[in-house]
Amino acid sequence: MSTKTHQIRFTRGHCTYHVYLKYEQENSSIYYGASIYRGNINEKEYNNDRLFHTAFERFSRFPVTILIDLDTNIRTRQDLVTYFNSKTFQKFLVKRGFVTHGVRARNGHNPVKSLMHKYLTQQICTHKKNLRRAISNAQTQETHFKKNPNIRTYEMDSFQGMILNSLMKQPTHTLVFKKQKRTFHVAYKHLDSGETLYGGSIYLPTNGSLPYDCKAHLNTAVNRLNNCPIHITISNTHQYPTSSSTKGLLTNSNKIVNQFRKAFLTHGVRYKDNENSHRYITTHKIQFEFQNNKKKLMRSINLTENKLSTFKKSSSLYTPPKPTLMRRNAISKKSHKDIISAVTSGLRADLDVVQDIKEIRRCKGYCN
Q: What does 228-281 look like in DSSP terms, one character per residue? A: S-EEEE---S-SS--HHHHTTPPP--HHHHHHHHHHHHHH-SS----TTS--SH
* Neighbour order of strands in the sheet with 195-203: 173-179, 182-190, 195-203, 230-233
Rounded to an integer, what distance in angstroms lies between the CA atom of residue 359 and that of residue 353? 10
Q: 7 pairs with which residues across the strands?
A: 20
**Domain-located, residue 67:** yes
φ and ψ of 65, to 5 deg: -110, 130
Give yes or no: residues 184 and 262 share one domain: yes
CA-closest candidate to residue 83, choices 71, 95, 96: 71
Q: Does the pLDDT value for residue 186 go beyond 80?
A: yes
- Higher-confidence residue: 113 or 365? 113
**Domain-located, residue 19:** yes
- Higher-confidence residue: 104 or 207? 104
- Higher-confidence residue: 202 or 207? 202
- 150-to-153, 158, 232, 263, 272 alpha-carbon distances in Å: 10, 20, 9, 10, 15
Give yes or no: residues 257 and 184 share one domain: yes
Q: How confident is the model at residue 51 (pLDDT cuts 50, 70, 90)?
A: very high
Inter-residue contact 124 to 307 (CB < 8 Å): no
CA neighbours closer than 13 Å in the CB half-sphere of residue 91: 3
Give yes or no: residues 342 and 200 share one domain: no
**Domain-located, residue 253:** yes
**Domain-located, residue 1:** no
Give yes or no: residues 239 and 301 share one domain: no
Q: Does the pLDDT value for residue 355 go beyond 60?
A: no
CA-closest candidate to residue 317, choices 96, 132, 91, 85: 96
Q: How many helices, marked H, and strands, marked E, lie in the chain?
A: 13, 8
Q: In 10 A of CB 117, how many CB atoms?
A: 20
Question: For 339-348, how does the pLDDT look when each residue is reduced to its tens digit (9 = 90+)?
Answer: 445 444 444 4
Mean pLDDT of the chain: 75
Rounded to an integer, what distance in angstroms lies between the CA atom of residue 188 and that of residue 175? 8
Q: How confident is the model at residue 338 (pLDDT cuts 50, 70, 90)?
A: low
Q: How many structural domains is the chain composed of?
A: 4
Average pLDDT over residues 17-46: 87
**SS3 label, residue 157:** coil
pLDDT for 265: 80
Give yes or no: residues 275 and 168 share one domain: yes
Give yes or no: residues 305 and 329 share one domain: no
Q: How confident is the model at residue 114 (pLDDT cuts 50, 70, 90)?
A: low
Q: Does the pLDDT value for residue 98 go beyond 70?
A: yes
Give yes or no: residues 179 and 134 share one domain: no
Find the range with the poorest average confidence among 18-22, 185-189, 305-309: 305-309
Q: Does the pLDDT value for residue 353 go beyond 60?
A: no
Percent of the chain with pLDDT over 70: 71
Question: For 256-270, how does the pLDDT look when each residue is reduced to its tens digit (9 = 90+)?
Answer: 888 888 888 878 888
Rounded to an integer, what distance in angstroms lies between the CA atom of residue 114 and that of residue 103? 8
Rounded to an integer, what distance in angstroms lies between the CA atom of residue 324 and that of residue 341? 26
Q: Does the pLDDT value for residue 156 go beyond 50?
A: no
**Domain-located, residue 307:** yes
Q: Where are the alpha helices (DSSP H) in 28-178?
A: 48-61, 77-84, 87-92, 99-101, 115-147, 158-169
pLDDT for 347: 42
Domain that holds residue 60: 6-105
Question: For 122-144, how does the pLDDT look when each residue is reduced to its tens digit (9 = 90+)?
Answer: 888 889 989 998 888 888 887 77
Give yes or no: residues 192 and 333 share one domain: no
Find the radius of gyration of the CA atoms of the chain. 40
**Domain-located, residue 238:** yes
Q: Does the pLDDT value for residue 240 go beyond 70?
A: no
Give yes or no: residues 312 and 335 share one domain: no
**Domain-located, residue 213:** yes
Percent of the chain with pLDDT over 90: 14
Q: Does the pLDDT value for residue 18 go beyond 90?
A: yes
Give yes or no: residues 261 and 162 share one domain: yes
**Domain-located, residue 46:** yes
Question: For 300-313, how does the pLDDT look when each residue is reduced to its tens digit (9 = 90+)?
Answer: 999 999 888 888 77
Give yes or no: residues 211 and 360 share one domain: no
Question: For 312-333, how does the pLDDT look when each residue is reduced to its tens digit (9 = 90+)?
Answer: 777 644 444 333 333 334 444 4
Average pLDDT over residues 237-247: 57
Total-model pTM? 0.36
Q: How confident is the model at residue 17 (pLDDT cuts 50, 70, 90)?
A: very high
Give yes or no: residues 29 and 49 share one domain: yes
